[in-house]
Chain A
Amino acid sequence: MPILPLHYMFLSLTLFCIGIMGVLIRRNAIIIFMCVELMLNAVNLLMVAFSKMYVDAGAQVFVFFIMVVAAAEVAVGLAVIVMMYRKVHSVDVNILNRLKH
Chain B
Amino acid sequence: MKAIIAATILGIVMMFAGLQMKNKSSVVTLAIVLAFLLLGVNIWDLVATPATAPVGYFNNMLRIDRYALWFSTLMTGVTVLYTLLVGKEIQKVGVHVAEYFALIFFILCGVYILSCYNNMLMLFLGIEILSIPQYILAGSDKKNLKSSEASLKYFLMGAFSTGILLMGITLLYGATGSFNIVAYSFLQSDALNPLALGGVIFVMIALGFKVSAAPMHMWTPDVYDGSPTPFTAYMATVVKASAFFAFIRLFQVSFGSISSQWTVVLSVITAATLLIGNLTAVFQQSVKRMLSYSSIAQAGFMLFAVLAVNAVAWQGIIIYAVAYSIATIGIFTVLMKLKDYTYDGFNGLAKKEPLLAFVTTIFLFSLAGIPLTGGFMAKYYVIQAVMVQNQFLWLVIFGLLMAAISVYYYFRVIIAMYFKEGNAELHAPVTQGEKVLLVITCGLVILIGIFPQLLLSWI
Report B-chain residues with C-beta under 8 Å of the C-beta of A88.
Answer: 145
Q: Is the CB of A47 within 8 A of B170?
A: yes
Report which of A9, A81, A87, A101 forms a contact with B145, defined as CB distance below 8 A.
Answer: A87
A17-54: contact bitstring with B at CB < 8 Å (1 yes, 0 no)? 00110010000010011001001101100110010011
Q: Which residue of A lies closest to B131 (CB)?
A: A73
Report B-chain residues with C-beta under 8 Å of the C-beta of A39.
Answer: 160, 163-164, 166-167
Q: Is the CB of A98 within 8 A of B149?
A: yes
Main secondary structure of the interface of B (DSSP, over half): helix
Q: Is the CB of B148 within 8 A of A43?
A: no
A73-97: contact bitstring with B at CB < 8 Å (1 yes, 0 no)? 1001100110110011000010010
Distance to closest chain A CB from B301 (angstroms): 25
Q: Which residue of A lies closest to B157 (CB)?
A: A23
Total CB contacts across the A-B interface at under 8 A: 113
**Size of B's binding interface in residues, CB under 8 A:** 40
Report A-chain residues with C-beta under 8 Å of the C-beta of B145.
Answer: 87-88, 98
- For the complex, is A3 an interface residue (Cβ under 8 Å from B)? no
Q: Is the CB of B152 within 8 A of A96?
A: yes
Report B-chain residues with C-beta under 8 Å of the C-beta of A23.
Answer: 156, 160
Distance to closest chain B CB from A95 (angstroms): 9
Q: How far is the CA of A14 from the CA of B146 in the complex (A)?
A: 36
Report B-chain residues with C-beta under 8 Å of the C-beta of A101.
Answer: 285-286, 289
Q: Is the CB of A76 within 8 A of B167?
A: no
B166-207: contact bitstring with A at CB < 8 Å (1 yes, 0 no)? 110110011001010000000000000000000000000000
Report which of B121, B136, B148, B155 forms a contact with A65, defined as CB distance below 8 A.
Answer: B121
Q: Which residue of B lies closest to A56 (CB)?
A: B177
Distance to closest chain B CB from A2 (angstroms): 18
- For the complex, is B363 an interface residue (Cβ under 8 Å from A)? no
Q: Chain B interface (Cβ within 8 Å of chain A)?
A: 120-121, 124-125, 128, 132, 135-136, 139, 142, 145-146, 148-153, 155-156, 159-160, 162-164, 166-167, 169-170, 173-174, 177, 179, 221-222, 225-226, 285-286, 289
Q: List 30 A-B contacts (CB under 8 A).
A: A16-B167, A19-B163, A20-B163, A23-B156, A36-B160, A36-B162, A53-B174, A59-B179, A61-B121, A62-B120, A66-B166, A69-B125, A73-B132, A76-B135, A76-B155, A77-B155, A77-B159, A80-B135, A80-B148, A80-B151, A83-B142, A84-B149, A87-B145, A93-B152, A98-B146, A98-B149, A99-B146, A99-B221, A99-B226, A101-B289
